[in-house]
Chains A and B, each alone.
Chain A
Amino acid sequence: GESVGLHLPTLSVQEGDNSIINCAYSNSASDYFIWYKQESGKGPQFIIDIRSNMDKRQGQRVTVLLNKTVKHLSLQIAATQPGDSAVYFCAEGESTGGFKTIFGAGTRLFVKA
């Protein structure tokens, strides 16, 4: 497997603050990127995606930034709420040349009330 970490990095933020979760991806040929949220004991849920022809995409309270030069992806969550507490995964993939989606190790977001 790729990018499987033994210990999840943790980000702790105060309720109402903005959160930024970072992800370094490995494959320069990746042309799509997806952020997922996983709550305890559940399957991951789609949050937002971005294609390589974009460098920014906004959703409801979330923004994804893509920097292809340094192979870096970030997820920004505005006005973080207790319900945002979860593990967040980035996934990268190639849409050509066969299936190759790789999940990052994940970051645990803890929101303090």
Chain B
Amino acid sequence: DGGITQSPKYLFRKEGQNVTLSCEQNLNHDAMYWYRQDPGQGLRLIYYSQIVNDFQKGDIAEGYSVSREKKESFPLTVTSAQKNPTAFYLCASSIWVDTEAFFGQGTRLTVV
């Protein structure tokens, strides 16, 4: 089955700790993205990557970091510098930047 997988589905973190969210795709897509969604709101772009070993900041990159060492993987680290990390995080991939994006099922991060 081809698709995009995020793990874990639910994640709890203590304040001051870094946490890494996993995103893997076996669709052979070049482009990958991370979005943040707050309750009742739209999607805001955190980071995106158009190709391996390259990534760009989105609109709300502060407090986050990413890597793209492999085509199929685009992990997101939420650092302690992110002031309001509790949110629903969505990873997506697409063949290229102007084609439909396939989304994972999301990771709900709660800071306790």
User: What is A's interface to B at a CB cutoff of 8 Å?
Assistant: 1-8, 31-32, 34, 36, 41-46, 49, 89, 93-95, 99, 101, 103-106
B44→A1 contact, CB < 8 A: yes
Contacts A43-B104, A46-B100, A49-B100 given; does A1 touch B90 at CB 8 Å = no
Q: Using C-beta atoms within 8 Å of the partner chain, give the interface range for chain B.
A: 20 to 34
A1 to B104, CA, bound (A): 21
Identity of the chain B residue whose Cβ is nearest the Cβ of A44 in the assembled complex: B103
A99 & B90 in contact (Cβ 8 Å cutoff) = no
A43 CB, nearest partner CB in chain B, Å: 3
Binding site for A on B (CB under 8 A): 6, 31, 35, 40-45, 48, 50, 56, 59-60, 90, 92, 97-98, 100-106
When C-beta atoms are compared, the residue in chain B nearest to A102 turns out to be: B45
Q: How far is the CB of B45 from chain A (nearest CB, A)?
A: 7
Q: How far is the CA of A45 from the CA of B104 in the complex (A)?
A: 9
Chain A residues within 8 Å of B104, by CB:
43
Within 8 Å CB of B40, what residues of A? 5-8
Chain B residues whose CB sits within 8 angstroms of the CB of A1 once the complex forms: 42, 44-45, 59-60
Is A5 in contact with B41, judged by CB distance below 8 angstroms?
yes
In contact, B98 and A45 (Cβ under 8 angstroms): no
